[in-house]
């Protein structure tokens, strides 16, 4: 990279420092100074039963969301990359239109669909399929649905890129050897798109760890995730030191994850 | 891999045509690929040679015509069921598998026994000389080594027909020659029918027992390399394969001098550069045309001469250096001669 390229990066670096780095350093300072200097807020963040249960729930929801999102995105990307123009257009519309709608609107949209008096329950009751509404919001189910829907586009793009990089002739070679479509898919296509899958999983998992609006609306305060807990500790039962310590722990966890995944990706591409 | 010519197959193509929309990629191609032969499909890009290979492989169903394999109709049989070996441009190796796993893949597809797979993989790795690389992945191999893996993988299951789509186009010249030798050896040892697409005429001449020349979606000529080179059936074939001199003849007369021609008396007379000689004086009899020497290039054993006739036709001659008089310089007025059995009318 030349000096001029570095200069072009300058404004961005300044912006990142002003908007993220400096505030984050402030948060780190709170975490070791509020209400008094020391590491006790970290001890609380890691041992407090409430915080622990929220962290475990967060990890569980994020893991489920990641698996479901990436699996769904893989199927969508497959249609997008490898089928005819009509199916392709349909997938593009289904991915891109929600992508441009605000997260808040989408969360309320799901509320309208899934709540006890929502569209789905009303229809099912009118059709006589159920007597009592299915509980689909104010629980983890609603949170997972909302998060998966929000995150799918982010997973489709890296997976589709990996799929486009698959050499068609490799698949033809396998067909000429008599390999069935199932075998080609599982033993060749999926392993060859692995970098895309890994990238999508990382992106979705990291993104989902910090989710706030969707769990707050669709979880209805019953399946609190870590970002919501941080918010509560800041504004409802204030303990800024603990909120700051939780933020730092979350940040550190994300950092470690990204480092691990990048290393794995690097090793695979180097070989 | 002792030769198993019993497994080699014969292919009969009749009236094969292939259209993509209004574009006709192939028109009425009829040819027979004999059991165990090495046939090269040669032509410029866009000539239809690769399309014809794709029709043979089953990846492109023909729009018209039938394909027979050992007398059985295979026109509508998908590539998975043809059991042909294919080697692609760019090798098409499985990037996430080692050399051994790549070669074992088709054998696993065929559900061969574990012990047999191990034995066969070891055997073929030995034949293509990749013993020390067996646990590497394709990305860790050179171009030539990857090419060998592709060959080994296709040969491993002893297919009745091997199809090659310009497999050597990415290799440098030395490696190419080496791989061509290897191809001939493998063809001899396996006895399988080989069909090889290339746009490199030298490669076609070196490798094949017969060459099929394609242009504009049509089969122009098929035959042994020597026949095609020495007896081209039309102007395209004559000019595509090697250099050739073409001179307009009217009523057995060329630039005012009577000459002997075979076949028709008027048309384009074609003579290969190595079948023409020069004379310093007008020969008393025989075929000759007056020309001025424009340039000469010393190439060791032979010297290449560029001439222009009085009528304005450009000639190229390839003459043994030993036959040339000393002191021949550009600008000299000379005569180009040839014997009539070496010339043909197009």
pLDDT in tens, A17-56: 999 999 999 999 999 988 888 888 898 888 888 888 998 9
- A2/B contact by beta carbon, under 8 A: no
Judged against a pLDDT cut of 80, whether residue B45 lies above it is answered with yes
In a domain, A88, yes or no: yes
Q: How far is A270 from chain B (nearest CA, A)?
A: 9
Q: Please state, in angstroms and rounded to a whole number, the distance separating the CA atoms of residues B102 and A64.
A: 35
Of the pLDDT bands very low, low, confident and very high (cuts 50, 70, 90), residue B102 is very high
A22: distance to nearest CA of chain B, Å? 43
A265 touches chain B (CB under 8 A): no
Instruction: Kindly determine whether residue A167 and residue B79, on different chains, have CB atoms separated by under 8 Å.
Output: no
The CATH number linked to A105 is: 1.10.3720.10
Q: Do B21 and B28 meet the contact criterion of CB atoms below 8 Å apart? A: no
The whole domain housing A171 covers 38-270
A176/B82 Cβ within 8 A: yes
| A interface test, pick of B59, B77, B86 with most A CB neighbours within 10 Å | B86
Nearest CA in chain B to A193: B96
Token reading at B63: 């729009």
A177/B105 CB distance under 8 A: yes
Q: Residue B136 has what pLDDT?
A: 94
Q: How sure is the predictor about A135, in pLDDT bands with cuts at 50, 70 and 90?
A: confident
CA distance B103 to chain A (A): 11
pLDDT for B268-277, tens place per residue?
899 999 999 9
- Domain assignment of residue A190, yes or no: yes
Nearest CA to CA, how far is B128 from chain A (Å)? 19
Do A180 and B80 make contact, defined as CB atoms within 8 angstroms?
A: yes
Contacts of A174 in chain B (CB under 8 A): 94, 105
pLDDT at B113: 92
> What residues of chain B lie within 8 A of the CB of A194, using their CB?
96
Quote the CA–CA distance of B39 and B32 in Å, as a whole number.
10
Q: Which residue has the higher pLDDT, B30 or B172?
A: B30
Per-residue pLDDT reduced to its tens digit, B147-186: 999 999 998 988 999 999 998 888 888 888 888 988 999 8
Q: B270 CA to chain A: closest CA distance, Å?
A: 42
What average pLDDT does range B247-258 have in this prediction? Answer: 86
Q: Could B80 and A172 be called an inter-chain contact, meaning their C-beta atoms sit closer than 8 Å? A: no
Tell me, yes or no, whether A25 lies in a domain.
Answer: no
> A178 and B83 in contact by Cβ < 8 A?
yes
What confidence tier does B2 reach under pLDDT thresholds 50, 70, 90? Answer: very low
What pTM was computed for the model? 0.81
Euclidean distance between CA atoms A259 and A257, whole angstroms:
5
ipTM for the whole complex: 0.81
pLDDT for A69: 97
Whole-angstrom distance, CA of residue B248 vs CA of residue B339: 17
What is the mean predicted confidence (pLDDT) over A72-95? 91
Whether B5 shows a pLDDT value over 50: the answer reads no
A148 inside domain = yes
H or E element at residue B235: helix B235-240
Contact A169 B96 (CB under 8 A): no
Kindly list the distances between the CA atom of residue B44 and the CA atoms of A57, A211, B48, B210, B237, in Å, as whole numbers in the listed order: 65, 59, 9, 17, 11
Q: Of A150, A170, A167, A174, which is closest to residue A65 (Cα–Cα)?
A: A150
Residue A32 lies in a domain: no
Q: Answer whether A271 touches B (CB < 8 Å).
A: yes
pLDDT digits (tens, 9 = 90+) for B194-238: 999 999 888 999 899 999 999 999 999 999 999 999 888 888 999
For residue A169, what is the nearest residue in chain B, using CA coordinates? B92
Contact B319, B267 (CB under 8 A): no
Please give the residue of chain B at the shortest CA–CA distance from A168: B92
Token code pair at residue B210? 């017969």
Backbone phi, then psi, for B326, in 5-degree steps? Answer: -70, 160
Cβ proximity of A102 and A182 under 8 Å: no
Indicate yes or no: CB of B96 within 8 angstroms of CB of A192: yes
Backbone angles phi, psi at B230, to 5 degrees: -90, -25
Q: Each residue of B190-206: pLDDT tens digit?
A: 899 999 999 988 899 98
Q: Does residue A143 sit within a domain?
A: yes
Q: What DSSP state is assigned to residue B325?
A: P
Pick the residue of A165, A169, A172, A176 with the most B CBs within 10 A to test the interface with B by mutation: A176
In this prediction, residue A149 carries a pLDDT of: 92
> Residue B79 pLDDT more than 50?
yes
Number of domains in chain A: 1
Establish if A69 belongs to a structural domain.
yes
Closest Cα in chain A to B161: A176
Tell me: pLDDT of A147 over 70: yes
Residues of A whose CB is below 8 A from B150: 173
Asked whether the beta carbons of residue B84 and residue A176 sit closer than 8 angstroms, the reply is yes
Q: Choose among A178, A188, A271: nearest Cβ to B94.
A: A188
- Name the packing angle between helices A119-126 and A103-114 (round to 10°): 20
Integer CA distances (angstroms), A179 to A228, B111, B164, B165, B216, in order:
50, 11, 19, 20, 34
pLDDT digits (tens, 9 = 90+) for A202-221: 999 999 998 888 888 898 87
* A-B C-beta contacts closer than 8 Å: 66
The reported pLDDT for the residue numbered B154 is: 92
Query: What local confidence, expressed as pLDDT, does residue A270 receive?
Result: 47
Which are the contacts of A46, defined by CB distance < 8 A and separation ≥ 6?
A52, A249
The answer, for A128 touching chain B at a CB cutoff of 8 Å, is: no
Check residue A1 and give its pLDDT. Answer: 60
> With contacts defined as CB-CB under 8 Å, which chain A residues touch B153?
173, 177
Bridge partners, B3 (sequence order): none
Among candidates A169, A172, A179 on the partner chain, residue whose Cβ is nearest the Cβ of B109: A179
Give the Cα separation of A166 and A168 in Å (integer): 6
A172–chain B Cβ distance below 8 A for any pair: yes
- The answer to whether residue A9 is domain-embedded is no
DSSP state of A236: T
Neighbours of B111 (CB within 10 A): 7
The rounded distance, in Å, linking the Cα atoms of B109 and A181 is 12
pLDDT for residue A267: 63
B202 to chain A, closest Cα gap in Å: 26
Q: How buried is residue B284: exposed, middle or buried, by Cβ count under 10 Å (0-12/13-18/19+)?
A: exposed
User: Is A177 strand, coil or helix?
Assistant: coil
- Partner B contacted by A4 (CB < 8 A): no
Which residues of B lie inside 8 Å of A (Cβ-Cβ)?
57-59, 78-86, 88-90, 92-96, 105-106, 109-110, 137, 139-140, 150, 153-154, 157, 163
- Where is A144: in which H helix or E strand? helix A140-164
**Given pLDDT bands bounded at 50, 70 and 90, which one contains residue B281?**
confident
- CB of A165 within 8 Å of a chain B CB? The answer is no
* Contact across the interface for A174 and B105, Cβ inside 8 Å: yes
Angle in degrees, CA A77, A83, A86, rounded to 5: 105
Mean pLDDT (chain B, rounded)? 90
Kind and range of the H or E run holding B151: helix B143-155
CB contact under 8 A, B94 and A170: yes
Q: Between chains, do B96 and A194 touch, taking CB under 8 Å as contact?
A: yes
DSSP character at residue A79: H
Confidence bin at B3 (pLDDT 50/70/90)? very low
For A176, the closest of B79, B137, B140 (CB atoms) is B79
């Amino acid at each position: 990279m030349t000096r001029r390229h570095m200069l072009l990066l300058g404004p961005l670096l300044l912006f990142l420092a002003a908007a993220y780095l400096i505030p984050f350093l402030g948060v780190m300072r709170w975490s070791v100074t509020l209400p008094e200097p020391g590491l006790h807020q970290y001890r609380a963040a890691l041992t407090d039963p409430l915080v622990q249960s929220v962290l475990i729930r967060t990890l569980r929801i994020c893991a489920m969301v990641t698996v479901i999102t990436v699996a769904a995105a893989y199927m969508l990307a497959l249609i997008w990359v490898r089928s005819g123009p009509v199916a392709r257009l349909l997938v593009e519309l289904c991915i891109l239109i929600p992508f441009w709608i605000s997260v808040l609107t989408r969360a309320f949209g799901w509320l309208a669909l899934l709540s006890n008096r929502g569209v789905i329950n009303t229809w099912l009751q009118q059709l006589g399929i159920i007597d009592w509404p299915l509980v689909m919001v104010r629980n983890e189910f609603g949170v997972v649905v909302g998060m998966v829907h929000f995150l799918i586009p982010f997973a489709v793009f890296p997976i589709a890129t990996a799929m486009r990089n698959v050499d068609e002739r490799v698949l033809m070679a396998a067909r000429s050897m008599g390999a069935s479509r199932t075998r080609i898919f599982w033993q060749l296509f999926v392993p060859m798109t692995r970098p895309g899958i890994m990238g999508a999983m990382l992106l979705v998992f990291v993104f989902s760890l910090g989710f706030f609006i969707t769990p707050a609306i669709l979880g209805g305060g019953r399946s609190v995730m870590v970002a919501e807990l941080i918010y509560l500790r800041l504004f409802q039962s204030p303990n800024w030191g603990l909120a700051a310590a939780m933020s730092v722990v979350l940040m550190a966890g994300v950092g470690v994850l990204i480092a691990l995944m990048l290393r794995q990706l690097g090793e695979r591409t180097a070989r | 891999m002792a030769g198993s010519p019993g497994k080699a197959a014969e292919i009969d193509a009749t009236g094969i045509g292939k259209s993509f929309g209004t574009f006709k990629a192939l028109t009425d191609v009829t040819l027979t690929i004999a059991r165990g032969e090495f046939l090269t499909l040669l032509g410029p890009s866009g000539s239809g040679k690769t399309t014809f290979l794709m029709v043979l492989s089953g990846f492109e169903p023909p729009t018209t015509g039938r394909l027979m394999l050992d007398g059985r109709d295979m026109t509508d049989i998908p590539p998975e069921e043809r059991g042909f070996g294919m080697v692609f441009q760019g090798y098409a190796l499985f990037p996430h598998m080692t050399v051994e796993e790549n070669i074992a893949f088709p054998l696993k597809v065929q559900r061969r026994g574990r012990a047999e797979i191990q034995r066969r993989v070891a055997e073929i790795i030995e034949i293509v000389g990749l013993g020390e690389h067996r646990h590497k992945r394709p990305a860790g191999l050179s171009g030539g080594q990857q090419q060998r893996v592709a060959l080994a993988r296709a040969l491993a299951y002893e297919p009745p027909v091997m199809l090659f789509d310009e497999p050597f186009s990415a290799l440098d010249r030395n490696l190419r020659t080496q791989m061509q030798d290897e191809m001939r050896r493998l063809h001899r040892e396996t006895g399988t029918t080989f069909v090889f697409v290339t746009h490199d005429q030298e490669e076609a001449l070196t490798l094949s027992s017969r060459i099929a020349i394609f242009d504009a979606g049509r089969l122009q000529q098929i035959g042994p390399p020597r026949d095609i080179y020495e007896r081209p059936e039309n102007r395209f074939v004559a000019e595509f394969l090697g250099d050739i001199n073409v001179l307009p003849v009217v009523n057995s007369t060329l630039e005012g001098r009577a000459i002997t021609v075979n076949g028709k008396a008027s048309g384009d007379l074609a003579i290969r550069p190595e079948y023409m000689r020069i004379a310093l004086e007008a020969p008393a009899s025989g075929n000759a045309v007056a020309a001025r020497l424009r340039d000469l290039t010393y190439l060791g054993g032979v010297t290449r001469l560029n001439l222009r006739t009085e009528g304005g036709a450009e000639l190229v001659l390839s003459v043994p250096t030993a036959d040339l008089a000393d002191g021949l310089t550009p600008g000299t007025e000379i005569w180009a001669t040839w014997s009539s059995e070496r010339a043909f009318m197009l």
